[in-house]
Amino acid sequence: MTGGPFDGGDVAELRAMLALSCRILALTGCVREITGHVSARIPGTDEFLVRCRPPQDPGVEFTVADDIHRVGLDTTNADLEGGYALPGEWAIHTELYRARPEIGSVVHGHPRASLLCGILGLPMRPIVGAYDPGAMDVAVDGLPTYPRAVLISDVALGKELAATMGESRACLLRGHGVVTVGDDVRDATVRAVKVETLADLTLRLHAVSPGPPAPLPAADVDEVAGFVSSRGAAATYASWTWDYYTHALGPRAHVARRS
């Protein structure tokens, strides 16, 4: 984003980033078919950009910038034009933003491995280190589980979810999916990918070995975490991972219109 006050060009850029986030999340299995959505605060305002559902929804994988709408916390479907609708679980976003003014982006998806780990009650432990520091951090930071499998379709349920998450940056929704938050769209998106990475490793280990896998020694976890934080590399890690998936999408990364 450019520096200084947030202007129309910045909003257009952020809208394009949210559309790209949807495509990255689809590529990595973090969203499925027509389920999943992403939002981001517009800096310096009380407004947000969010992936809304078009009248004929081809799926999150095919999100374009036109599907990203500028809204407020109290926006309703009646405020949207062109037959668009807010996500059915818009309360995930509104109540996390209300509860946590520090977060800049929210991702909700339905990834398979994370779903199965939640159903099986498998603990998400720091079982890898330098192999994938981002996946390790997910476990170190804590990954609570929201116990209900219902749609987060109203304010009361959104508040329950926000309370379950507390200060965590990721949460499993049992029998449902995941929610991640971040400083910005890249941060929240990459965190969702890393939750699914850790869940996939946990699930595969569970399939071949009885009992939960042993976590890494605390000294190893501290050393890997310190290696990253001492170089201020967290933002770079998220940015480079985002760039990798952008390149992996190829021509699908930036699509202005649906054909």
The residues carrying an active-site annotation are 89
What burial letters (b/e) apply to 83-114, b meaning 16+ CB within 10 Å? ebebbebbbbbbbbbebbeebbbbbbbbbebb
Q: Decide if 110 contacts 120 (C-beta within 8 A).
A: no
Classify residue 216 by its DSSP letter: P
CA nearest neighbour of 145 among 110, 126, 167, 170 = 170
What is the C-alpha end-to-end distance of the chain, expressed in Å? Answer: 28
Rounded to whole angstroms, how far apart are CA atoms 36 and 191?
15
Q: Decide if 137 contacts 125 (C-beta within 8 A).
A: no
Classify residue 89 by its DSSP letter: T
- Cβ neighbours around 139 below 10 Å, total: 22
